Chains A and B, each alone.
Chain A
């Protein structure tokens, strides 16, 4: 029966490629959360010599276009170098699918975001980052805007949960407006560390919960 999707979107949605996990992945990254309606986890395996992406897999809790975009964008980056992968945009993926309805844009951007975050973290981890600029507070804020508060589905920057950030001698100190005994505290801390730990000049990340 007709739906406002192209045939290709439906095909990728019905039989998505590259679904699953990579056990010895170099990077695993999650964007979104169930409470905001879409969530996508992406795994990346990269050849340490050539920096070519040898395997990529994903899992999605999202709408049909989110799943289809995850499927095609993982197809597109396989065999590409991380530099090339970084240049693939959501628009490229949407075009490869023959277009997506405008109301579905927000759900499909997540796949591209996850890819870019994963590649960025890989580059940080392996020291591939070309211009080694010192990590700034702005950079930390930008990274933390991908960390979602599971309780509300809104990221911790937008929901004003960050009380203070300081950077000194490679130590990032983050004070959060969250009760230490909140059931989400550990989860949020892990996410924060995953996002920041490979920045080249970061030695330690301290996350403090206070209310």
Chain B
């Protein structure tokens, strides 16, 4: 079988070889529990590696090492940040500001909080998926305790003006959380310059392993512990540390810091060539979201008029090309994408969205086979479609 062409890097990325090499000894050789570092040299060694990983992440975010807490990934970090701030600061107020284009890992905890009596206010986004900081400002009251707005959207790749939003939050004494799962390791993030109080990240989105991530929590933030037990991670997140995963995360962060700029430039070129070719070869295709610098360099999301995305993905998969629909997390559901809905994609096109996300292991050589196969698959499905006029 030919090599698979993988175009779903926003769902997850393969582990970089160098990351894997770094992790391997931690399964059975350097296995000790870092919690017993005071009495065991085996543990101390593992702990040193964990602290090295913490430093690598702090460097990537321009944070201090004590502000990094290891978690099981983006979903845990989002839950921990949102519920942790809400529960610890209830005496100060019960209003939270967010958007309709957040990931489910933010939206579902917000729903839970709403049931517990919190008020959730949603800032509108425009047709390209952008939040206007002024609109955030309008929603702030003296009861607002938290603003949670993602750094970049996982479906359409819009990069939000979080620096300005963070500034507004800071000026008003409100905590600002950002889900940066799609940007960390891809786009420069500076928690100090961007006025971020809490930030979620996940290793497997930038060539690290699955099941590990981190939450940045600014020093002196009033947050409730998100896992109670033996008191690891300065009492906020108990549980024996996933040393293997954490070492992998740290290595992925180190590599990203060094190579990000080069990779993203390459990825952007492949993405642009790919979409130009698709538009040239296939009629009635339009882009969802923004063009230019304020879009993630690897992200493409477009509507192919007249066909559903699901059979197209199945057809492409048969040909060894892996593409995502909307987001990987809701691929099993019948509901159309809440993000495409929020940016007012016409109802007739809601089930026709295709997401292709390019990563550093893709190459320019893959563009041709992708376009040829896509063109053929689209033609076949349009011939089947009851509302695709022939000759269009």
Q: List chain A positions with a Cβ less than 8 A from chain B.
A: 1, 3, 5, 10, 13-14, 16, 19, 30, 34-35, 37-41, 59-64, 67, 103, 106-107, 150-153
Residues of B contacting A: mostly: loop
CB distance from B318 to the nearest CB of A (A): 7
Q: A67-B311, A153-B347 are in contact. Are A106 and B334 (CB under 8 A)?
A: yes
In the complex, the answer to whether A34 meets B348 with C-beta atoms within 8 Å is yes
CB distance from A211 to the nearest CB of B (A): 20
Compute how far the CA of A150 lies from the CA of B4 in the bound complex, rounded to whole angstroms: 39
Q: Which of A30, A41, A67, A150 has the most CB of B within 10 A?
A: A67
Chain B, residues 247-271, CB within 8 Å of chain A (1/0): the string is 0000000000000000000000000
Q: A30-B386, A67-B384 are in contact. Are A62 and B311 (CB under 8 A)?
A: yes
Compute how far the CA of A39 lies from the CA of B4 in the bound complex, rounded to whole angstroms: 31
Q: A14-B315, A64-B311 are in contact. Are A59 and B351 (CB under 8 A)?
A: no
In the complex, the answer to whether B318 meets A1 with C-beta atoms within 8 Å is yes
Q: List chain B positions with a Cβ less than 8 A from chain A.
A: 4, 306-308, 310-311, 314-315, 317-318, 320, 322, 332, 334, 336, 347-352, 383-388
Q: Which of A3, A34, A60, A153 contacts B317 (CB 8 A)?
A: A3
In the complex, the answer to whether B314 meets A64 with C-beta atoms within 8 Å is yes
The interface residues of chain B lying within 8 Å CB-to-CB of A13 are 311, 314
In the complex, the answer to whether A59 meets B320 with C-beta atoms within 8 Å is no
Q: Which of B4, B307, B314, B322 contacts A61 (CB 8 A)?
A: B307
Q: Which of B315, B347, B352 has the most CB of A within 10 A?
A: B347
In the complex, the answer to whether B320 meets A38 with C-beta atoms within 8 Å is no
Compute how far the CA of A61 lies from the CA of B320 in the bound complex, rounded to whole angstroms: 23
Q: Which of B308, B336, B352, B385 contacts A59 (CB 8 A)?
A: B385
Compute how far the CA of A84 lies from the CA of B311 in the bound complex, rounded to whole angstroms: 31
Q: Which of B318, B320, B322, B386 contacts A60 (CB 8 A)?
A: B386
The interface residues of chain B lying within 8 Å CB-to-CB of A67 are 311, 384
The interface residues of chain A lying within 8 Å CB-to-CB of B347 are 34-35, 150-153
Compute how far the CA of A30 lies from the CA of B385 in the bound complex, rounded to whole angstroms: 12
In the complex, the answer to whether A14 meets B332 with C-beta atoms within 8 Å is no
12 CB contacts below 8 A, A to B, read: A3-B314, A14-B318, A37-B334, A39-B386, A59-B385, A61-B384, A61-B385, A61-B388, A64-B311, A64-B314, A103-B332, A150-B348
In the complex, the answer to whether A63 meets B387 with C-beta atoms within 8 Å is no
In the complex, the answer to whether A1 meets B348 with C-beta atoms within 8 Å is no
CB distance from A109 to the nearest CB of B (A): 12
In the complex, the answer to whether A19 meets B351 with C-beta atoms within 8 Å is no
CB distance from B390 to the nearest CB of A (A): 10
Compute how far the CA of A40 lies from the CA of B384 in the bound complex, rounded to whole angstroms: 10
CB distance from B221 to the nearest CB of A (A): 41
Compute how far the CA of A67 lies from the CA of B385 in the bound complex, rounded to whole angstroms: 10
Q: Which of A1, A40, A103, A150 contacts B320 (CB 8 A)?
A: A1
Compute how far the CA of A210 lies from the CA of B98 in the bound complex, rounded to whole angstroms: 39
The interface residues of chain A lying within 8 Å CB-to-CB of B336 are 37
In the complex, the answer to whether A35 meets B386 with C-beta atoms within 8 Å is no
Q: Which of B322, B383, B384, B387 has the most CB of A within 10 A?
A: B384
Closest A residue by C-beta to B1: A1
The interface residues of chain B lying within 8 Å CB-to-CB of A107 are 334
Q: Which of A35, A103, A152 has the most CB of B within 10 A?
A: A35
In the complex, the answer to whether A35 meets B387 with C-beta atoms within 8 Å is no
Compute how far the CA of A64 lies from the CA of B347 in the bound complex, rounded to whole angstroms: 21
Closest A residue by C-beta to B335: A37
Q: A16-B384, A19-B383, A34-B387 are in contact. Are A63 and B318 (CB under 8 A)?
A: no
Closest A residue by C-beta to B307: A61
Q: A14-B318, A19-B384 are in contact. Are A1 and B4 (CB under 8 A)?
A: yes
The interface residues of chain B lying within 8 Å CB-to-CB of A34 are 347-349, 351-352, 387
Compute how far the CA of A64 lies from the CA of B311 in the bound complex, rounded to whole angstroms: 5
The interface residues of chain A lying within 8 Å CB-to-CB of B318 are 1, 3, 10, 14
